[in-house]
Chain A
């Protein structure tokens, strides 16, 4: 213990004796680590698996169902129509399945007609949405079935915003001109990246305030406020309850849970049979182009990766490398400046392991300082990124795992940049060192 304290005392004395080279080394390391980790945090949030326990079982099915003939159209639509959802839901194979889309509306308490309504983010969906993505309930429960019903599920924040408390099951809320009963309140829940809506570029957007039943939305003419496409001549601003259900109006995402490879194969076969029977009935004029994409591949599938952030990540990784080489160079200079002292210690009987101990103490002090400074650099870089790229604002929060990784990397980086000087100190010619 005394030896260890002595080693740390010596490390601190070394810093005091020549603070500038030491601080420059730590500063360069911190710049590299800080810039790299600010970017790595962004990259982590954009690319990590939000549902590690079940992501392997979540799939997005697509069929090339547009009724306009086109032989060269070999990619299915990114979004599905009501008819597509009906057909793809009819297999009975998935453990859970839900169609959905994002919309927006205005909500207010029934008695507050004088107060301006509050804009709210809506997710129109089916009951299995909450099973598919493991959405936790705080109060109440999901809808009993997928039929139309005037029941809403609220996020905890929305319940507190409208009612001042979270347990509001059974209360009523006006959405647009319609009155709804609240059947459930969710716990605080965010899924980042929001892979279930990545086709619309919403992977870093906030979750919905209010969840509305799928069939009810069609009854009320509520449409998606993201990608919608129509491929026929119907007027979708009129009688949407019928036109939206019967026409070629594409706006929905559809997810299925297939727990085993057998289920996946069975569902693929079901899609094939479905398309063949549709072709026989003359309702599938385009080439067969069935897709069943796992949730972890969905960003690539929709070409929704932020390539510019990828490029920036590569550049910041190379910047870290530059900083490591630079710090190694400075560290070697520092060693060469004090090689006489190392030689003297060895001449006085200091063993190689004792020398290593001194160097490791130096590494530990450097790593602690570098970590502290690089956290400051990373925080500054992240606030700069958040202000310059507002779309990534939700992706810049600290993650304990990332901070731990950063601490580990700082330690390894400090050791690496000291490794060669340490070897020269321990194994170099004693005569030369003393000379």
Chain B
């Protein structure tokens, strides 16, 4: 199969070839960058959380009677609610907090080492109300020091996450006993994914104090036996209503659901871009199919002559496919360049990692595969041209 002849054949149809090349170039550029965006979104949503997503339930609620929003009625209500929830079969641990992990925003404050505000200040750190049982409820891992106990109630003692400790003191074991503006550090726990808009999503600070007002509601967290999750969820509403009817139970969700919501935008965009990538390949296949079919018909006489002169069906098949492969190859080479140009443009709009070379190369191979599949049927039709057709034409 002569490459020169193939080029000549393409040059006979300059406009069509140019249109095909532009289209293949853009398709590869879009395909590579769509996959890059999708994989970035996928990686984001698969970061470790440090949480038991399926067996931890979060109940978001707020008293509708304003007398219950303030301490001490509020504290009493929360303890009665927790006692009722612990009675439900399958509930292993129950605890209260002002907010759950895996939220976009919430109660945040700045944290710095006392006397070193200028060098250690961190702006947005989630401040979490925490009692002793929150440790087991969230299945935390203690790294240094101790967790908060009932004796820490309304004291200055706090526990922080590992990443926050490292940020403040470079090594987390150095944090124990240190004084921050948030309190005296008595423990360090393993990282948990807390808030999206915090300075870092693994930062967290825990303290054991009374919640004076619940203007923003509060959260009850449950650690549940894996097989009892559904049954527990069904009983939560009745159980809480029996304790106090003047309460708005805004939602009961598993941390798995919160995790889905947390990365909803990334996941949604990844799926949309995947759909678009699929459509691009479909469009490329339609184009290759129709191109091969049309030119198969156009070159019927030529193919017939070749058949009459002894060309085998396989040779004709390879010839037709070779033309598609050559076009796709040139389009892919241009597409490689276009992929990097498009990545640079997209990177000015959103944060996007560098495009690894294997990605457009894999894209080119996928494109080649799709084009081959789409061209196969028209190429097979072309091989059926009888030598008699050529004789008639002559």
Q: Which of B212, B269, B271, B284 contacts A235 (CB 8 A)?
A: B212
* Given A177-B67, A318-B30, A336:B350 Cβ within 8 A: no
Stretch in contact with the other chain, from A154-162, A182-190, A343-351, A386-394: A386-394
Contact A315 B287 (CB under 8 A): no
Answer whether residue B15 sits at the interface, using C-beta atoms and an 8 A cutoff.
Answer: yes
B275 an interface residue at 8 Å Cβ cutoff? yes
Contacting residues, chain B, for A329 (C-beta < 8 A): 16, 19-20, 23, 287, 290-291
Give Cα distance in the complex from A429 to B291, angstroms: 23
B346, closest chain A residue (CB): A311
- B172 sits at the interface (CB 8 A): no
A308: chain B residues within 8 A (beta carbon): 265-266, 269, 350
Is B264 part of the contact surface with A, judged by Cβ < 8 Å? yes
The answer to whether B65 touches A237, judged by C-beta atoms less than 8 angstroms apart, is no
Instruction: Quote the shortest CB–CB distance from B138 to chain A (angstroms).
Output: 25
1/0 per position for B254-282, CB-CB distance to A under 8 A? Answer: 00000000001111110111011001101
- Most chain B CB neighbours (cut-off 10 Å) among A176, A177, A237, A390: A237
Instruction: Enumerate B303-348 residues with CB–CB distance to A below 8 Å.
Output: 342, 345-346
Known contacts A318-B29, A325-B19; decide if A330 and B287 are in contact (CB<8 Å). Answer: yes
In the assembled complex, the CB of B67 is this many whole angstroms from the nearest CB of chain A, namely 7
Contact A322:B26 (CB < 8 A) given known A28-B283, A389-B269: yes
B105 CB–A CB distance under 8 Å: yes
- State in angstroms the CA–CA spacing of A329 and B280 once bound together: 15
Using Cβ atoms and an 8 Å threshold, which residues of chain B touch A336?
A: 294, 298
Query: Which residues on the A side are within 8 Å of B105 (C-beta)?
Result: 227
CB atoms of B245 and A315 under 8 A apart: no
Q: Which residues of B contact A28 (CB under 8 A)?
A: 283, 286-287
Chain B interface residue count: which class?
35 or more
A131 interfacial by beta-carbon distance below 8 Å = no
Taking CB atoms, residues of chain A closer than 8 Å to B268 are 385, 388-389
Cβ contacts under 8 Å, B237 to chain A: none
Name the B residues within 8 Å of A238 (CB-CB): 212-213
Is the CB of B66 closer than 8 A to any CB of chain A? yes
Closest chain B CB from A140 CB (angstroms)? 27
When chains A and B are docked, how far (Å) is the Cα of A310 from the Cα of B20? 28
Inter-chain CA distance A315–B350, complex, in Å, is 13
A337 to B265, CA, bound (A): 47
User: Is A434 among interface residues, defined by CB-CB distance under 8 A?
Assistant: no
Knowing A326-B283, A384-B272, say if A390 contacts B16 (CB, 8 Å): no
B1 within 8 A of partner (CB): no
Chain B window 221-253, contacts with chain A (Cβ cutoff 8 Å), 1 for yes, 0 for no: 000000000000000000000000100101000
CB distance from B277 to the nearest CB of A (A): 9
| Beta-carbon contacts under 8 Å, A107-154 to B | 116-117, 119
**Considering the chains assembled together, what is the distance between the CA atoms of A321 and B346 in angstroms?**
17
Q: Is the CB of B291 within 8 A of A315?
A: no
Chain A residues within 8 Å of B298, by CB: 336-337
Question: CB-CB contacts of A348-370 with B at 8 A, as 1s and 0s?
Answer: 00000000000000000000000
Q: How far is the CA of A333 from the CA of B330 in the complex (A)?
A: 21
Query: Within 8 Å of chain B (Cβ to Cβ): is A21?
Result: yes
Contact of A326 among B37, B265, B273, B286 (CB under 8 A): B286
Judge whether B19 and A24 touch: CB under 8 Å: no
Q: Beyond the given A35-B279, A333-B16, A336-B298, could you list 5 further A-B residue pairs with CB under 8 A, ordered by the A residue number? A: A28-B287, A321-B26, A325-B23, A325-B26, A333-B294
4 tightest CB-CB pairs across the interface, nearest first?
Answer: A388-B268, A237-B213, A237-B212, A329-B19
Query: Could you jot down 5 A-B contacts, CB within 8 Å?
Result: A27-B286, A117-B64, A315-B276, A319-B279, A322-B26
